[in-house]
A and B are shown apart, each in its own frame.
Chain A
């Protein structure tokens, strides 16, 4: 694998291999085993947009494997002087072995990948894709349910601008999941994506009634209504806080059902859910480290030993 821009860059077999490798790297991610597989390698974290988990988990993943990290942000760099993405990426091509990019504009990751030689990993491009989040989401689902096949996954909230659900839905249908898409009319999944999902033969239901979907769900994937993506603030005000999940809503849920969220959350998951057996979102955030460790090794061509001790 070279670049990872959308989930189409990975076959199902490659995804499963990455998830298997991620399982093997768990003791390294926890700091129990020292395994400097990426010693001497440099990762450039190119964040043109805010991030907590993605940036830090890439950094932790690289450092746990003995590599080093260049952190870039738009303030304090030549971007504020008007440097193009193309020019900035040319520099990174010379400074690092792999680039992770998050950018407010859609298509920025593919554009960067076309501009430079080193592998580019898309850490979120506007409302486009976020495939490395998908890897940790798939890891979390498989960790809880033992499989990805045949699950009923309910995606809730901002499906229009939510890049995590764009990438995740593509991957889930390839593994035979059934999707229930819950959103207000103004935030429905883009038609291109729904048409792609149906082309894969997926069972896809679209609804705005969240409460009716909870009891049949194997996974409830909540998302934040992202104020920063709305071109119009009035449109945001109409839908802010439209879906909220609290512990009381889960009384009829399946025992093994898990609640996920790419975080940060605002009001969509009440803290009362945190202590239920369904909550997985903090574990999910930790899983970002192992999933990204496996991915970094893969794109840098480094083999992970069969047994990690």
Chain B
């Protein structure tokens, strides 16, 4: 059975394909999609994929992801392909691309970082030191941040 038939096609919205298997829930958290109130979201996990072996897929109805959300997505799913759907057909194909710096996406996890004082006004900044394997550090204190920590500390 093909993966596309597991969930019906959406009329308008965004399909995020090629999410590494098991990450879809973290992606939802990272995209700050308010599950309690937002539009319908279909989540497919662990489906066979020629490219990744196994993958997750998200279908978000009546919502087009913007560039800032794509930047967030790139952290968890750098190989994800994003399709904007309008009237049942693909209107735009987008790529999640990881920049060199992640500004105001997540708070540094280190308890003694200067940014732990919430009244300090400069933005939270994380630096992408290496893409594969992914290595991210706080731009101020230099501490390494793993993906789970970043997801826990999203802004």
Query: Which residues of A line the B interface, CB within 8 A?
Result: 6, 82, 84-86, 103-108, 110-111, 114-115, 125-129, 191-192, 231
Q: Are B122 and A105 in contact (CB under 8 A)?
A: no
| Stretch with Cβ within 8 A of A (4 or more), from B19-27, B49-57, B84-92, B138-146 | B138-146
Contact of B114 among A6, A106, A192, A231 (CB under 8 A): A106
Expressed in whole angstroms, the minimum distance between the Cβ of A275 and any Cβ of chain B is 39
Q: Are A107 and B142 in contact (CB under 8 A)?
A: yes
State whether A192 and B120 are in contact (beta carbons under 8 Å apart), knowing that A107-B138, A111-B115 are contacts in the complex.
no
B114 partner residues in chain A, CB cutoff 8 A:
85, 103, 105-108, 111, 125
Q: Are B141 and A128 in contact (CB under 8 A)?
A: yes
Q: Are A115 and B142 in contact (CB under 8 A)?
A: no
Q: Are A86 and B142 in contact (CB under 8 A)?
A: no
Q: Are B137 and A192 in contact (CB under 8 A)?
A: yes
Q: Are B112 and A127 in contact (CB under 8 A)?
A: yes
Q: Is the interface of B mostly helix, strand, loop or mixed?
A: loop
B2 adjacent to chain A (CB < 8 Å) = no
Expressed in whole angstroms, the minimum distance between the Cβ of A90 and any Cβ of chain B is 10
Within 8 A of A (CB), among B124-151: 137-144
How distant is the Cα of A196 from the Cα of B108 in the complex, in angstroms? Answer: 20
How distant is the Cα of A105 from the Cα of B144 in the complex, in angstroms? Answer: 16
Expressed in whole angstroms, the minimum distance between the Cβ of A8 and any Cβ of chain B is 10
Place the interface of chain B in its size category: 20 to 34
State whether A111 and B140 are in contact (beta carbons under 8 Å apart), knowing that A84-B120, A86-B120, A86-B121 are contacts in the complex.
yes
B108 partner residues in chain A, CB cutoff 8 A:
107
How distant is the Cα of A103 from the Cα of B140 in the complex, in angstroms? Answer: 13
Expressed in whole angstroms, the minimum distance between the Cβ of A210 and any Cβ of chain B is 28
Within 8 A of A (CB), among B54-98: none
Q: Are A106 and B122 in contact (CB under 8 A)?
A: no
Q: Are B122 and A86 in contact (CB under 8 A)?
A: yes
Expressed in whole angstroms, the minimum distance between the Cβ of B91 and any Cβ of chain A is 40
How distant is the Cα of A103 from the Cα of B121 in the complex, in angstroms? Answer: 17
Expressed in whole angstroms, the minimum distance between the Cβ of A87 and any Cβ of chain B is 9
Expressed in whole angstroms, the minimum distance between the Cβ of B109 and any Cβ of chain A is 12
State whether A107 and B119 are in contact (beta carbons under 8 Å apart), knowing that A126-B112, A127-B112 are contacts in the complex.
no
Kindly list the 3 A-B residue pairs having the minimum CB-CB distance in the complex, ordered from nearest. A107-B140, A107-B141, A106-B141
B113 adjacent to chain A (CB < 8 Å) = yes
A103-B114, A192-B142 known, 7 other contacts, Cβ within 8 Å? A82-B119, A84-B120, A85-B117, A105-B117, A106-B141, A107-B140, A111-B114
The residue in chain B whose Cβ has the minimal distance to the Cβ of A112 is B114
Expressed in whole angstroms, the minimum distance between the Cβ of B104 and any Cβ of chain A is 14
A110 partner residues in chain B, CB cutoff 8 A:
139-141
B116 partner residues in chain A, CB cutoff 8 A:
105
